Chains A and B, each alone.
Chain A
């Protein structure tokens, strides 16, 4: 056995706190160590070459690399071994950056710790063995969760590459928040006009199965082979039979708030979210309908000529397998109810940005004429408050949502275009226009369309007869500002949707403090997640506008297709293995396995039949729980065997 030890300086990231010369000195006399070297960037091409040269020169068969977290470069160095014909599992990585140099300032102690860890790895490497890599087949079908613009785009891109896609949407229709918008910055294209052709394409695409009104309830398995349970909630209207005639709506006696219109308008218990909704079918809201358990009303059913209504529909659970998953479950706006300081709840004519989208939309409750919620009057002066509940870590959200400056500018500009004599006043902290043509859009609003921008925070909103008294400060002139507005619009930022939080739990994705899905790498792996084979696109992973959402969806689709295109995938080799001679057939391991991967099977030995444990390698995921349960050390966890762990414990415990 010949061990090569490589210590990475990582620029000054490691070398700044750890004296690598000393560490190198301390490993020299350890058993089996042939060579130890320090290099500036071990992960660089020349750094890798050095290892390869040494493998040739010294006939090395164990490699220890002390560098960053194995999460970063374990695959890189495994490839180095493979290139030289060595088994990739003969590599042992030591994390002396994230768990040493970056967390300790004391050079002496940092060096001691690094030396101890490297020693541990060298001793452990004596017990490591080559492992065979398993291959498993790939289900070449993708699951996209969430049907906003991100999910729509990802589904279309995957489907157009030639793979089957199932698109699961929780709501009665796809489209997401983009469907609620009137026009979109910076071009002011009508949102529905650019979105609905894509929605129709989804519904017509031969490779896409759209499951609206459905939820993912359970996910099992791993890259290439996810087993997913999907609950299809009953629609109570048979999609194929519904002709959108609208006869059912006028007869429905139940009137409730319409969510799509941000509760600014009513809907019936049977309804369609908006005319372009896909699937193009009405739906019954079981919470308010009087026809579903107990059946006390069947007015809609009575008038429905195509007989599309079925009160007896039941939820259906489907089980399907997928090779890759794209999470596109989107955002919600920060709850405006939390913004009591801006009079929300007490002053009727304070609305959110999304509510304003519905008020100004030709398809909205006021048919595009902006009317205030209190008395239906058309406002002459509107105050737009940027960063409402954002960039305020003490009370609200710490982050900037990137879109609110732009959409407030858009709102003000659209309002001025409707009524050039009106006053549109924006209060802002900073104007952030970081997007292509965004600054120009803002300049146009300020200079050509006479939208007013006041740098400063609004301190108070007070109902003053039928107007709202707005008090604030202009921080550029240091003067206080007082003016009367007819309507105030709060530009609320983005938070992860409830659906995003739920799906993160189900898929065990890691999230940030706000609850957005965390990317595998914030810069280089922006759509990958902690779980290989699961990708995230759009606002589920953080605030972004439509162009960025669409680009991410494209990347997520490519990444998913990368997997679907393979016939077989290599999976981890660190699974359980039974020593048939030692096994006494007690079955403790069988009980401890979360996957049912172990069973007792009868074997014949010298004419005696007895039971021993047997591992199904395709099902074992390598948690190692069985190895800890075995009293006899008869079942081991490859890559983490008792002897490997004990070698490490021995090296590290001495102190």
Chain B
């Protein structure tokens, strides 16, 4: 759990972020970013599920174990979830998970949850860009003998 490395721009020029999208609002928001030709860094790799509530905290842990530098979960705004209350559940589950991740030494900067409506393409692009910029300042996240500073 040592955190000796300094945060600098060049720590990790190419962070790798797993991006979860729901099929409804946040997925549409991400598509709209494309239709509007907004630009954001290519470091996010999308996985689409029907609803953010499909995402099991275990999926997030797995992503880190497999070597992802960050995980970004997106869903509809509160009240907009296509499945009524899915995103409330996501919020609660991921709140617990973020505490656990912190306890085992994963920097909170590596794990984010945000709500994107179908029209919020700009917010989507901005969120992605900000997260990539942050992760560039952290060293690559690798564990299990593949290096890694945090565990």
Binds A, one of B1-9, B52-60, B98-106, B107-115: B52-60
- The residues of A that contact B38 with a CB separation of less than 8 Å are 103
Is the beta-carbon distance between B54 and A640 smaller than 8 angstroms?
Answer: yes
* A95 in contact with B46 given A102-B34, A649-B62, A654-B67 (CB within 8 Å): yes
**What residues on A are CB-neighbors of B46 within 8 Å?**
95, 99, 117
Which of A102, A645, A653 is packed against the most chain B CB atoms within 10 Å?
A653
Q: Does A98 contact B (CB under 8 A)?
A: yes
Whether B53 and A649, one on each chain, are in contact in the complex, defined by CB atoms closer than 8 angstroms, is: no
Q: Does A416 contact B (CB under 8 A)?
A: no
A62 in contact (CB, < 8 A): no
State the CA gap A655–B62 with chains docked (Å). Answer: 14
Task: Pick the residue among B34, B55, B86 that contacts A594 (CB under 8 A).
Answer: B86
Chain A residues whose CB sits within 8 angstroms of the CB of B138 once the complex forms: none
Tell me if B47 and A623 are in contact (CB < 8 A): no
On chain A, the residues within 8 Å of B95 by CB distance are: none
B42 pairs with A623, CB closer than 8 A? no
Residues in B with CB closer than 8 Å to A203 are none
Q: Does A625 contact B (CB under 8 A)?
A: yes
Chain B residues whose CB sits within 8 angstroms of the CB of A623 once the complex forms: 50-51, 53-54, 82-83, 86
Query: CB of A69 within 8 A of chain B?
Result: yes
User: What is the minimal beta-carbon distance from A67 to any residue of chain B, in angstroms?
Assistant: 12
Within 8 A of A (CB), among B111-134: 117-119, 125
- The answer to whether B40 has its CB under 8 Å from any CB of chain A is yes
B59→A652 contact, CB < 8 A: no
* A372 interface residue (CB < 8 Å to B): no
Q: Which residues of B contact A113 (CB under 8 A)?
A: 42, 45
A628 partner, pick from B42, B47, B93, beta carbons under 8 A: B93
Which residues of chain B are near A98, meaning CB under 8 Å?
A: 30-35
- Does residue A637 face the partner (Cβ distance < 8 Å to B)? yes
B69 touching A103, Cβ below 8 Å? no
Given A510-B28, A510-B119, A623-B86, A655–B16 Cβ distance below 8 Å? yes
Which residues of A are found within 8 Å of B86, using beta-carbon distances?
594, 623, 625
- Give complex CA distance A95, B47 in Å: 10
B49 touches A103 (CB 8 A): no
Known: A103-B33, A627-B56. A653 touches B51 (CB 8 A): no
Q: Judging by beta carbons under 8 Å apart, are A653 and B56 in contact?
A: no
Distance between Cα atoms of A259 and B28 in the complex (Å): 39
| A624 and B51 contact, Cβ closer than 8 Å, known pairs A103-B125, A653-B66, A655-B67 | yes
Q: Which of chain B's residues have a CB closer than 8 A to the CB of A97?
A: 34
Q: Are B31 and A95 in contact (CB under 8 A)?
A: yes
Q: A99-B46, A594-B85, A621-B83 are in contact. Are A637 and B34 (CB under 8 A)?
A: no
B25 touches A120 (CB 8 A): no
Q: Quick check: is B79 within 8 A (CB to CB) of the other chain? A: yes
Q: Are A645 and B118 in contact (CB under 8 A)?
A: no
Say yes or no: A104-B51 contact (C-beta < 8 A), given A518-B118, A649-B62: no
The chain A residue with its CB closest to the CB of B36 is A102
| Interface status of B14 (Cβ within 8 A of chain A) | yes
Q: Indicate if the CB atoms of A655 and B68 lie closer than 8 Å.
A: yes
Q: Which residue of B lies closest to A112 (CB)?
A: B42
Q: Known contacts A103-B40, A627-B56, A646-B59: does B45 contact A594 (CB below 8 Å)?
A: no
B102 → chain A closest CB, angstroms:
20
A648 at the interface (CB under 8 A from B): yes
User: In the complex, which residues of chain B have a beta carbon less than 8 angstroms from the beta carbon of A629?
Assistant: 89
Contacts of A653 in B (CB 8 A): 16, 18, 62-64, 66-68
Select one of A100, A512, A594 contacting B83, CB under 8 A.
Answer: A594
Q: Would you call B31 and A628 a contact (CB within 8 A)?
A: no
B59 near A649 with CB under 8 A, answer: yes
* Chain B: CB-nearest residue to A650: B66
A637 touches B54 (CB 8 A): yes
Smallest Cβ-Cβ distance to A17: which chain B residue: B42
In the complex, whether A622 has a CB less than 8 A from a CB of chain B is yes
Contact check, B83 vs A652: say whether CB atoms are below 8 A apart: no
Residues of the B chain whose Cβ atoms lie less than 8 Å from the Cβ of A109: 42
Q: How far is the CA of A110 from the CA of B51 in the complex (A)?
A: 27
Residues of A within 8 A of B47 (CB): 120, 645, 648-649, 652
Report the count of interface residues on A (CB-CB < 8 A). 52
Interfacial chain B residues near A637, Cβ < 8 Å: 49-50, 54
Known contacts being A99-B31, A511-B119, A655-B69, is A645 close to B49, with CB within 8 Å? Answer: yes
Contact flag A624-B42 (CB < 8 Å), given A530-B28, A655-B16: no
CB distance from B44 to the nearest CB of A (A): 8
- Closest A residue to B88 by beta carbon equals A594
A628 touches B55 (CB 8 A): yes
In the complex the two chains form, what is the Cα distance from A219 to B7 in whole Å? 50
A508 → B minimal CB distance (Å): 6
Choice from B37, B45, B53, B125 contacting A652 with Cβ under 8 Å? B45
Determine how close the nearest CB of chain B comes to the CB of A187; give it in whole angstroms: 38
Cα A508 to Cα B82 in complex, Å, equals 7
A605 to B47, CA, bound (A): 39
The one of B59, B68, B89, B118 in contact with A625, judged by C-beta atoms closer than 8 angstroms, is B89
Q: Is A105 close to B, CB under 8 A?
A: yes
Q: Does B39 sit within 8 A of A, measured CB to CB? A: yes
Q: Is A61 an interface residue (CB 8 A)?
A: no
Contact of B62 among A102, A112, A646 (CB under 8 A): A646
- A371 vs B39: C-alpha distance when bound (angstroms): 56
Smallest Cβ-Cβ distance to A654: which chain B residue: B67
Residue of B nearest to A69 (CB): B31
Task: Name the residue on B nearest A106 (C-beta).
Answer: B42
Question: Which B residues lie within 8 Å of A99 (CB)?
Answer: 30-31, 33-34, 46
Is B80 interfacial (CB-CB < 8 Å)? yes
Q: Is the CB of B34 within 8 A of A624?
A: no
- Please, how many angstroms separate the alpha-carbon atoms of A110 and B44 in the complex? 11
Interface residues of A in 619-643 (CB under 8 A from B): 621-625, 627-629, 637, 640, 642
Contact between A105 and B83 (Cβ–Cβ < 8 Å)?
no
In the assembled complex, A592 has its CB within 8 A of some CB on chain B: yes
A97 CA / B31 CA spacing, docked (Å)? 9
CA distance A106 to B40 in the complex (A): 11
What chain A residues lie within 8 Å of B54 (beta carbons)? Answer: 623-625, 627-628, 637, 640
B83 proximity list for chain A (CB < 8 A):
594-595, 621, 623, 625
9 cross-chain pairs, A with B, having the tightest CB-CB distances, nearest first:
A624-B54, A98-B34, A655-B16, A653-B66, A623-B83, A625-B53, A102-B34, A510-B118, A653-B68
Q: List 28 A-B contacts (CB under 8 A).
A: A98-B32, A99-B30, A102-B34, A104-B40, A508-B80, A510-B28, A510-B117, A512-B119, A592-B53, A592-B89, A594-B86, A595-B83, A595-B84, A622-B50, A623-B53, A624-B53, A627-B54, A628-B53, A628-B54, A628-B93, A637-B54, A640-B49, A640-B50, A648-B47, A652-B45, A652-B47, A655-B14, A655-B67
Q: A645-B47, A655-B16 are in contact. List 10 more A-B contacts (CB 8 A).
A: A95-B46, A104-B42, A117-B46, A530-B28, A594-B84, A625-B86, A640-B49, A640-B50, A646-B59, A655-B14
